[in-house]
Amino acid sequence: MTTEELKSTLLELFPAAIPEEGGEWLAINVAPDELHDIALRLRQEQALNFDFLFCMTCIDWKTHLTMVYHFTSTRYRHNLVVRVKLNFTSPEVATLSDIWQTANFHEREVYEMFGVNFINHPDLRLLILPDGWEGKNPMLKSFEDPINMIRL
């Protein structure tokens, strides 16, 4: 499917989603409480078939956080970027690990690095950081560690 067709299909399915262009791939902005439903549709809709969540990360914009999901379809080979804007004080979003199992590890990584709370995640614990790092989120721009961090 070309980007244009993908865009029209997506807008038909999710009128609330705000498409964004300019990047390499089509991107849509989604509200946090709608994410799980939309993701499930993306996965299950035969015309879309986004079965492969190949990248998932978070960006700290100092005023807010943005979750970025990169989807691709192993059948149609089209790509989609889904962005979810989260507020900075209590970032919360539904887990996608029940739809794509790879989200399990990636969400644990985002949880410890950015402090995003994934609702209904089966096993939301520290994955990379050692014990005692709960609540300290090293990938945030505001994180300071005067001992271990070297400013380049």
Partner 1 sequence: MVEEIGTTTDGDLIINVGPQHPATHGVLHLVITLNGETIKKVEPHLGYIHRSIEKMCESLSYRQFIYVTSRMDYLSSHINNHGCALCVEKGLQIEVPARAKVIRILMDELTRIASHELWWGAMAMDLGAFTPFFHAFRERETINDIMEETCGARLTMNYMVPGGVMLDIHPNFRQRVHDFIRLFKSKVHEYEEMVTGNIIFQNRMKGVGLLSAEDAISFGCTGPTARGSGVSCDVRKYYPYDGYEQLAFDEVLETAGDSFARYMVRIRELHQSIRIIEQLIDNIPEGDFQAKTKAVLKLPKGEFYQRVETARGEFGVYIVSEGGTTPYRIKFRSPGFSNLSALDHMARGSKLGDLVAMMGTLDLVIPDIDR
List interacting residues with partner 1 (CB under 8 A). Answer: 22-25, 51-55, 57, 59-60, 68, 70, 74, 77, 81, 100-102, 104-106, 109, 125, 127-131, 138-139, 151-152
Q: What's the min distance (Å) between Cβ of 12 and partner 1?
A: 25
Is 81 exposed, middle or buried (CB count within 10 Å of its CB: 0-12, 13-18, 19+)? middle
Q: CB of residue 108 vs partner 1: minimum separation in angstroms?
A: 9
Give me the least distance between CB of 133 and partner 1, in Å please.
9
Cβ proximity to partner 1, 33 vs 120, nearer residue? 120
Q: Round to whole Å and give the CA distance between 62 and 67.
A: 13
Nearer to partner 1, 33 or 55 (CB): 55
Q: Which is nearer to partner 1, 15 or 23 (CB)?
A: 23
Least Å from the CB of residue 125 to partner 1: 8
Residue number with CB closer to partner 1 (33 or 47): 47
Closest CB to partner 1 among residues 33, 75: 75
What is the distance between the alpha carbons of residues 45 and 64, in angstroms, rounded to a whole number? 31
Closest CB 41 distance from partner 1, rounded Å: 17
